[in-house]
Structure 1
């Protein structure tokens, strides 16, 4: 087996292996050659070559999202590193462990006009859990004058050089261990900046350093007794309790606690599409339920207690409801952080949802008598009937397309949703409970949905389907420049010839200014991209063709498949706006 000659590269690679980091996504470059040599020559690592660094980082994020363990990206020096930033920000807000390994030039070559140099240390400082800025190795002849004292004799010089080398090696080992441990234990992105001097391509047969592995310190989370007692008291007394669950991994909460909550008439549980939480007595499709409410409805249904789990919330309507009609108490349960989304947070309970519910529900003697859940259930039933009536009556449009598409996704598969209108349309439907649903809601950007979905498809044996809007898909089209896409991967592009969500938002539609700068009207198609990248391509523009094509879309084939669904851009917004009026009648 071959190793890079540079000890610092050996140290990084050995510690990645010791920490169980297996998936390495490499973008080509010269300064990063020592890392590339080391990772690709070690059979332990699964290495991927992806040229576009932005796509590479989102691809890695998709793998880490599924495995819930650090995935590494490797790049050369300069602007290559900056292309990781969108995925780093997404990982930061979505609590996904991403390990950024950037090669850098030595200090003396930075700020002097040398090529491919920028100020790389701490470049992600506002969106990173930890930045490790490693030190350049010293060989027996090398010396950076600002780091060495004036020597009286050669013996003193050699002794000092030896001490410096050992000190630098120990420093680098500690920093690498710390960064990887933080990514693993706190679930988020970390950055290790690694300076290399030439020569970069030399290899040896045996490593010259054997770095020390530092274990993660276990942190046992326990709820303060006084906090728990206060929660139990308030929970027992409240007759209107609302639980709202945002982005969550599948199987986050044990079924017995879900059943207990579902059997309490004073509790309603709102679940978002990305919550991966299901129960027949829960309340998905939040916007469908509350969109037609008037002030009297909101006042009557204002919760006494709001309990939140999971990540960021998609629904703007539930945010508006709870920000104006604030609960008396808002508690958020999480091991890491709490967002004051509704400007009423009074308790951040630092533990897991399972642990909190066990402590809370085991000590609540009986469910509080209340008509709160019954009232909400009646509303849900009325809305669902109106929803079904409306969908039967409308012409082909985005809304109708989503109904057909979501009903056709196979059981026990993964659904990746693009941002903007895609995830919001999906929120209007009660999805198949066997699906695992993901979306980049950390920053809610359109920039990496396809790359993330492909990373997910590579990491998980289950079939993955991506539903994307046309702008999001085109924006991230370099994601298809990827040699690892499994044949069972599926993409459905809803092409409404522009940013359709802007037609729903307030603004002056159907003007030249709106078309160019908001909706960004276009006539592009995915067909030629599919030919270039080896996808099987089909397109439809009506309901019957959509149903027909979906019948064979998920069948096995020798290529990944893409189905492009063209919808009438001048009709979609009116269909959706009339939908909310109709279900409230």
Structure 2
């Protein structure tokens, strides 16, 4: 039996729960944890030096999975460096199982190295926190460790998904003796949980249907979500057959229907609210990018607002919530459509919704789309918007797109259904610029599809340490739009008018991605004109191995192009 047998057993419990991926940041105090997973032989272990990048790489690996990814780090500030990725995983509802090695409690704040207060270090940003016993002499300690590790895994994958923190105090010696065998205990127990389906009673459905029938103007808004083919299909049926409006940002991954609304960023500021104000608003998913949509629905509240989510936390983004429906969106929309469709069949009538409401939204959407394309086709100079638009046009439906925060995600959102069926991921849980490179790397490492990361220069430079790993994913391409600073502050009225704009908001710089590409042995391309970009994009996207294409744009031209688009739509409306 190993000296730290309960630590060895942790890896086996994780394996029996179906976990297969581990991200390790090297350290001494965490050696026993690392070796338990490495010597187990049943895990794919990725080593990442920087814990901040490691956390986001794990996040990227777990994005589309219902299986947690394990993270392991040593004691001290290493654990704190997980905080950005843990908080992002919490708000994006991604399952991460975080193991932080620690000194035994009596050595905390005793001037011992790599020692900080790690208990509950992530506060409210984890679903649960556990601290394992440091001593295993009594059989109850081993029983407690087994129970807590099982509980931690089940908590990661309970609805809603999210990160769970397990702090592991470890006494010396924590390196194995020569000849020490790493094998699971004979009496190891794995605790499973039978999944339960959240449903609504007949009385609840009757109440909802009665309310639906009383509302002529119904609007469904999709927040950030994973792609769900069944949900996508039923939303198309609801829109087509019941004259219901479906509004979807790019990160909702609800698309590929001509009647879905995706150009709302452009037309809502210019539209008469009386034509578009809903009686019933139904929302699902997580965050919404569009500020125009949020402001419109806050200023023009629906009479009734239902939010469909299995998360018990009350979310009232549009300040109009009247009912929370605690079921999955797929279950809710499939059932309500089936019930409404049957009701219409029995009654032999037409939907009681107002068809002009859908017509108004679709007409505005199509008009905004035409104005956008006319504007883009007339842009002769290189700018951030035209760079991202040109890149999207070169992608087929097999690409996954990761997009950084600040302006890139806003540019992508304004392009509407230009995205087609391509899946979009973005760290919109906390909407920070940290971690976008590492998250895309993690996703590409586990994805069979090609992955394109669209990022600004600051977000790229901020997260360069994600590239300090062996075996970078060959299916990842990185498009860096370098405007030499935080260009979003030039787009906002407040900072854009300040004399301190360039030095203290945009933070002007002369750095590029070239040195990083050379250090990581990544193929590097650069473009400074529209003609160069058009020539390089096809080979950049189709080339073998990971590549970086850095496009240099002028911040003042970017501001003119973005504000010019808004002015163009406003003038033609």
Q: What TM-score do you get using the length of structure 1 for normalisation?
A: 0.92
Q: Say how many residue pairs are matched.
A: 554
| 2:145 alignment counterpart | 172
| DSSP-derived class of the 1:405 partner | helix
Higher mean alpha-carbon deviation, 498-507 vs 55-64, is at 498-507
2: CA distance between counterparts of 1:252 and 1:5?
49
Measure, in 1, the Cα distance between the counterparts of 2:499 and 2:521: 36
1:548 correspondence with 2:535: yes
Equivalent position to 1:423, from 389, 399, 409: 409
CA distance in 2, matches of 1:241, 1:343: 17
Deviation at 1:284, TM superposition (A): 1.2
Deviations along 1:323-364, whole A, 9 cap, x unmatched?
A: 111111111112224511011111111111121112212222
Select which of 295, 299, 320 maps to 1:344: 320
**Do the aligned partners of 1:4 and 1:35 also contact (CA within 8 Å) in 2?**
no
SS at the partner of 1:451? helix
Structure 2 gaps of 5+ residues are 345-350
Structure 2 vs 1, CA of residues 392 and 256 (structure 1 numbering), >3 Å: closer, same or farther? closer
Change in Cα spacing, 1:256 to 1:426, as seen in structure 2 (3 Å) is: closer
Q: Which residue is 1:21 aligned to?
A: 19
The verdict on how the C-alpha distance between 1:571 and 1:550 changes in structure 2, with shifts beyond 3 A counting, is: same
Any conservation in 2 of the 1:66–1:460 contact (CA below 8 Å)?
no
Cα deviation 1:254-302 (Å, max 9, x = unaligned): 4541232121464110011011111121111320231323xxx113311
Distance 1:255 1:323 in 2: 26
State the distance in 1 between where 2:208 and 2:305 align.
Answer: 11
Are 2:293 and 1:307 aligned?
Answer: no
Distance 2:50 2:243 in 1: 52
Matched, 1:329 2:315: no
Query: The residue matched to 1:54 in structure 2 has which SS?
Result: helix
CA distance in 1, matches of 2:112, 2:75: 11
Counterpart of 2:162 in structure 1 is: 188
Instruction: Work out which of the residue numbers 173, 190, 198 in structure 2 matches 1:221.
Output: 198
Q: How does 1:435-474 map to 2 (within 5 A)?
A: 435-474=422-461
2:330 is aligned to 354
Q: Distance in 2 between matches of 1:510 and 1:410?
A: 41
Alignment TM-score, normalising by the size of structure 2: 0.94
1:8 equivalenced with 2:9 (yes/no): no
Q: Is the 8 A contact 1:131 1:192 kept in 2?
A: yes
Distance of aligned partners of 1:265 and 1:232 in 2 relative to their CA distance in 1, 3 Å threshold: closer
Give the 3-state SS of the residue equivalent to 2:550 in structure 1: strand
The corresponding residue for 2:189 is 212
Match of 2:259 among 270, 276, 281: 281
- CA distance in 2 between counterparts of 1:220 and 1:114 reads 49
What per-residue deviation string (whole Å, max 9, x for no partner) do you get for residues 184-207 of structure 1?
Answer: 223100001111100111152253
Structure having the higher Rg:
1
Distance 1:35 1:508, change over 3 A: closer
Q: Which one of 225, 228, 233 corresponds to residue 251 of structure 1?
A: 228
On the 8 A contact 1:509/1:515 being kept in 2, the answer is no
Runs of 4+ in 1 over 4 A off after TM superposition: none
RMSD: 1.6
User: Structure 1 residue aligned with 2:366, among 381, 390, 394?
Assistant: 381
* Alpha-carbon distance in 1 for matches of 2:233, 2:474: 38
Distance in 2 of aligned mates of 1:404 and 1:220: 44
